[in-house]
């Protein structure tokens, strides 16, 4: 359990990471390192998106599953790793 | 009832047993002064009470005067119903008169039906349902970021959800089957309880550990973004300047792996995992015999250069390590204090799963090299270790214990002295490196501190098959060629790297590198390519097929005056090498195309690949050298 906490802490200190949100299956943010309005906004929007992506993958092949999702935009990058009961969202600003 | 101060409510219906217990307990603590004194016998008397469904307030014997018979008669059945609460409600059935009247009144108010109130009373019930006409005013929502649930795409419950649920069920069933098999029928009751506890425990720990998987993935992705250019280089960059560089090649630095905890420890061992080609193990310790401190074993993955995947720490410095080919989760390490230990990556506790001790035959000097061997006849895992105390020991894991057997004791030849009573005293040589032959199982080479290399057999414990006067100083590494069965290579602190044919006593090739050579390694893709690293921070790559006398790449890899490079290893499939230095850093370098040259295809001929070709290539070179030797 402490390992997970450590991993999340490390993630937070990585270069360019703006925030991390841990969301449960209903789209409710459990843990977040950002302010409340941003958190709820991201959680709500990403929730539907991830479900849609997952169902797409499953539809095409039921034995397949979504491993992760990356939305690369001009200003930043949103990374989502879904799991059975949770998904972890990280927002990074990749410096170049 | 003479029960003292306790009042009992008739309707409460408490059981007697409970009451007496409480009473006796309180009696032990506090006795109120006006409590009735009773003898023990009286106290132990049991008074039984029976619960019934009868209303205690209902009279038990109602008598009515019967005019027919002219006497009072006992009514047998008394109504036991006790009404606790009643309230008159205001709901009326829709179909009743009043209901219909109200209904029409509503209609009139809404103004839907006209001129029907008289006929409505006798009409049938079939009427349209009136929907609420105007909803209450809704709160205005921000149309830019609010999405109404009804307008979102509807996810049907699809077949994959059914599939997932089915798979889960299957897994659960399998689990219960396994558990039942392992339990005896007597213990089944307790087993079920334990199972229930296990299930609840699992669900608790899962809450947190499930996130670990997702967290790991996100960490890797974030790292990939941060080190994006390096990852791209690793995959796709090929130095095009190599075409103009004639025969030389370069090493492109990629990632640098370092960890705070291993900051002051030197890299003493490197090993790629045989199954997961991006995972490698780094052993940390200290070569300085004055400053011995703890040791660490870190396993890194190239997918996450910022933090190791596994961390193990130990009291004594780690000097060598090896990973088992068939069981890539078993790592054996040798310590500076002479102990060997086996770590199981599947159970990443800090403690090794097996550990040798003074009783179980640990070495008395640092263990310089360990190597896994094939399982013995009883399918037990076993490995060999070599140490400065001159013993080469074979360790076997028998029934979860480490058992050791001395295979060979390195005796310095010509040093046997006769002490009194006919005993012979030998000076023990100090082994510093060994390597087992790839095909001939029992044959192996041992390098010593005196600079000699002995060819030994596992079956002969007292005699060496052969001795080579290899170097003037301690032999740091010996390595058989992965393709050619006769060729091996050795390096030493006397600044030289020598290549031998084990049938010939003198080396075939000698290279002087101007600085103590820490390690040599053959390339896995070619029989003529090898790399050597020196203490002045340079990495040298040789390709005998291109240039027999010089290195084709001679490049400083780490900051010159501060770091000494201690080890080098080629990755089995990717064109990269990892280099460890004495500051605890591991640098990953990519080999440029010139360093990976394959024989050119002649027109019309197919390019043959495979070990046979490699062997032939090396043979050609060796023959040249041998001819020269026989001539001179």
Q: Is A83 in contact with B210 (Cβ distance < 8 A)?
A: yes
pLDDT bucket at B245, cuts 50 / 70 / 90:
confident
B228 touching chain A per CB within 8 A: yes
Query: What's B493's DSSP letter?
Result: T
Phi, psi of B341 (to 5 degrees): -145, 155
Put simply, whether B152 touches A (Cβ < 8 Å) is yes
User: Given this model, what pLDDT does residue B532 score?
Assistant: 92
Q: What DSSP string describes B170-215?
A: HHHHHHHHHHHHHS-STTHHHHHHHHHHHHHHHHHHHHHHHHHHHH
Q: What's the pLDDT tens digit per position in A40-68?
A: 988 988 888 988 898 888 888 888 888 88
Asked whether the predicted pLDDT for residue B457 surpasses 80, the reply is: yes
The burial of B165, by beta-carbon neighbours within 10 Å (0-12 exposed, 13-18 middle, 19 or more buried), is given as: exposed
- Note every long-range contact of B51-54, with CB atoms under 8 Å and residues 24 or more positions apart, other chains counting: B51/B13, B53/B80, B54/B80
Tell me, what's the pLDDT at A31? Answer: 86
SS3 A38: helix
pTM of this prediction exceeds 0.80: no
pLDDT digits (tens, 9 = 90+) for B33-54: 887 777 888 788 888 888 888 8
Cβ neighbors of B475 (< 8 A, separation 6 or more) are: B432, B433, B447, B448, B449, B451, B452, B453, B490, B491, B492
pLDDT tens-digit readout, B378-389: 888 888 888 888
Which is it for strands B318-323 and B330-335: parallel, antiparallel or unpaired? antiparallel
Most A-contacting residue of B142, B211, B311 (CB-CB within 10 A), to test interface: B211
Q: Give pLDDT, residue B281.
A: 92
Crossing angle of helices B188-226 and B159-182, rounded to 10°: 130
Whether A55 and B205 lie within 8 Å, measured CB to CB: no
Report the run of H or E that residue A39 belongs to, with start and end: helix A36-60
Question: What is the arithmetic mean of pLDDT over B534-553?
Answer: 86
Please report where in the chains the tokens 């608790």 appear, as a residue.
B204
Q: Work out the percent of chain B whose per-residue pLDDT is above 70.
A: 77
Structure tokens at B606: 């197919």
Residues 6 or more apart in contact with residue B596 via CB below 8 angstroms: B249, B523, B525, B526, B529, B575
Cβ-in-10-Å burial (0-12, 13-18, 19+) of B415 comes to exposed
pLDDT tens digits along B583-616? 888 999 998 888 887 655 444 444 445 566 677 7
What pLDDT shows up at residue B509? 86
Residues 6+ apart with CB under 8 A from B447: B431, B432, B433, B434, B453, B470, B474, B475, B476, B477, B478, B490, B492
pLDDT over threshold 60, residue B75? yes
CA distance A82 to chain B (A): 6
pLDDT in tens, B49-74: 888 888 878 887 888 888 888 888 88
Taking contacts as CB-CB distances below 8 angstroms, the residues of chain B near A48 are 147, 152
Rounded distance between C-alpha atoms, residue B203 and residue B196, angstroms: 11
- pLDDT, residue B81, reads 83
Q: CB distance A94–B229 less than 8 Å?
A: no
Q: Is the pLDDT of residue B26 over 80?
A: no
Share of chain B above pLDDT 90, in %: 7
Provide the 3-class DSSP secondary structure of residue A7.
helix
Q: Is B111 left (phi over 0), alpha (psi -120 to 50) or beta?
A: left
pLDDT band at B97 (very low <50, low <70, confident <90, very high): confident
Closest approach of chain B CAs to the CA of A27, in angstroms?
A: 13
* Spatial CB neighbours of B49, under 8 Å, sequence gap ≥ 6: B15, B16
B545: closest CA among B521, B523, B572, B527? B527
A88: closest CA of chain B, how far (Å): 6
Q: Which residues of B touch A86 (CB under 8 A)?
A: 210-211, 214
User: At B127, is the pLDDT very low, low, confident or very high (cuts 50, 70, 90)?
Assistant: very low
CA distance B378 to B375: 7
Cα separation, B318 vs B313, whole angstroms = 9
* Mean pLDDT, residues B315-333: 89
Contact A4 B209 (CB under 8 A): yes
| Average pLDDT along chain A | 86
Judge whether B153 is closer than 8 Å to chain A, CB to CB.
Answer: yes
Residue labelled with tokens 């101007």:
B514
Which pair of structure tokens corresponds to residue B515?
A: 């600085």
| Residues in B touching A81 (Cβ below 8 Å) | 213-215, 217-218, 221
At residue B617, the pLDDT reads 73
Residue of B nearest to A59 (CA): B160
Contact across the interface for A11 and B163, Cβ inside 8 Å = no
Nearest-neighbour CA in chain A from B312: distance (Å): 14
């Amino acid at each position: 359990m402490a390992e997970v906490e450590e991993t999340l802490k490390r993630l937070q200190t990585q270069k360019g990471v703006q925030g991390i949100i841990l969301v449960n299956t209903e789209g409710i943010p459990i843990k977040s390192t950002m302010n409340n309005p941003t958190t709820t906004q991201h959680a709500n929007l990403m929730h539907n998106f991830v479900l849609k992506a997952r169902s797409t993958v499953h539809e095409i092949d039921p034995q397949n599953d979504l491993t992760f999702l990356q939305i690369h935009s001009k200003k930043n990058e949103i990374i989502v790793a879904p799991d059975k009961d949770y998904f972890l969202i990280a927002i990074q600003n990749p410096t170049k | 009832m003479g029960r003292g101060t306790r009042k009992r409510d008739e309707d409460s219906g408490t059981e007697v047993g409970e009451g007496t217990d409480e009473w006796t307990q309180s009696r032990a603590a506090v006795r109120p002064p006006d409590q009735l004194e009773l003898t023990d016998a009286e106290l132990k008397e049991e008074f039984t009470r029976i619960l019934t469904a009868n209303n205690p307030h209902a009279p038990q014997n109602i008598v009515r005067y019967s005019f027919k018979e002219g006497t009072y008669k006992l009514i047998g059945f008394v109504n036991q119903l006790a009404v606790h609460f009643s309230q008159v409600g205001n709901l009326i059935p829709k179909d009743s008169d009043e209901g219909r009247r109200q209904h029409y009144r509503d209609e009139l108010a809404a103004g839907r039906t006209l001129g029907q109130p008289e006929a409505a009373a006798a009409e049938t019930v079939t009427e349209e349902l009136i929907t609420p006409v105007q909803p209450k005013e809704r709160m205005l929502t921000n149309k830019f970021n609010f999405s109404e649930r009804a307008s979102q795409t509807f996810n049907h419950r699809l077949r994959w959800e059914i599939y997932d649920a089915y798979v889960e069920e299957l897994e659960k069933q399998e689990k219960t089957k396994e558990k039942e098999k392992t339990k005896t029928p007597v213990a089944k009751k307790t087993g079920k309880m334990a199972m229930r506890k296990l299930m609840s425990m699992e669900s608790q720990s899962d809450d947190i550990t499930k996130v670990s998987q997702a967290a790991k993935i996100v960490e890797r992705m974030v790292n990939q973004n941060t080190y994006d250019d390096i990852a791209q280089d690793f995959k796709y960059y090929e130095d095009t300047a190599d075409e103009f560089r004639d025969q030389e090649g370069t090493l492109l630095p990629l990632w640098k792996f370092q960890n705070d905890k291993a900051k002051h420890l030197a890299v003493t061992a490197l090993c790629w995992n045989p199954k997961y080609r991006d995972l490698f193990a780094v052993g940390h310790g200290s070569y300085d015999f004055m400053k011995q401190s703890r040791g660490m074993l870190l396993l890194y993955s190239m997918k996450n250069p910022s933090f190791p995947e596994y961390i193990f720490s130990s009291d004594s410095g780690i000097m060598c390590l090896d990973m088992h080919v068939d069981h890539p989760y078993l790592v054996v390490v040798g310590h500076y204090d002479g102990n060997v230990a086996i770590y199981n990556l599947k159970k990443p506790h800090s403690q090794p799963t097996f550990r040798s001790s003074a009783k179980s035959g640990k070495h008395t000097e640092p263990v310089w090299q360990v190597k896994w061997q094939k399982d013995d006849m009883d399918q037990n895992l076993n490995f060999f270790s070599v140490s400065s105390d001159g013993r080469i020991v074979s360790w076997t894991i028998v029934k979860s214990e480490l058992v050791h057997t001395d295979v060979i004791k390195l005796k310095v030849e010509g040093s046997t002295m006769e002490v009194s009573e006919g005993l012979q005293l030998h000076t023990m040589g100090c082994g510093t490196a060994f390597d087992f032959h790839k095909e001939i199982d029992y044959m192996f080479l041992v390098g010593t501190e005196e600079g000699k290399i002995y060819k030994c057999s596992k079956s002969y414990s007292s005699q060496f098959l052969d001795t080579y006067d290899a170097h003037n100083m301690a032999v740091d590494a010996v390595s058989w060629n992965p393709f050619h069965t006769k060729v091996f290579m050795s390096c030493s602190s006397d600044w030289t790297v020598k290549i031998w044919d084990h049938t010939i006593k003198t080396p075939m090739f000698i290279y002087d590198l101007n600085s103590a050579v820490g390690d040599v390694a053959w390339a896995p893709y070619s029989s003529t390519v090898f790399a050597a690293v020196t203490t002045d921070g340079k990495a040298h790559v040789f390709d005998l097929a291109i240039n027999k006398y010089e290195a084709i790449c001679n490049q400083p890899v780490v900051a010159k005056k501060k770091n000494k490079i201690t080890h080098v290893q080629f990755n089995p499939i990717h064109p990269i090498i990892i280099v460890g230095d004495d500051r605890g850093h591991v640098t990953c370098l990519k080999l440029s195309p010139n360093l990976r040259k394959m024989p050119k295809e002649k027109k019309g001929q197919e390019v043959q690949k495979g070990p046979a070709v490699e062997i032939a290539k090396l043979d050609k070179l060796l023959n040249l050298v041998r001819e020269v030797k026989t001539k001179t």
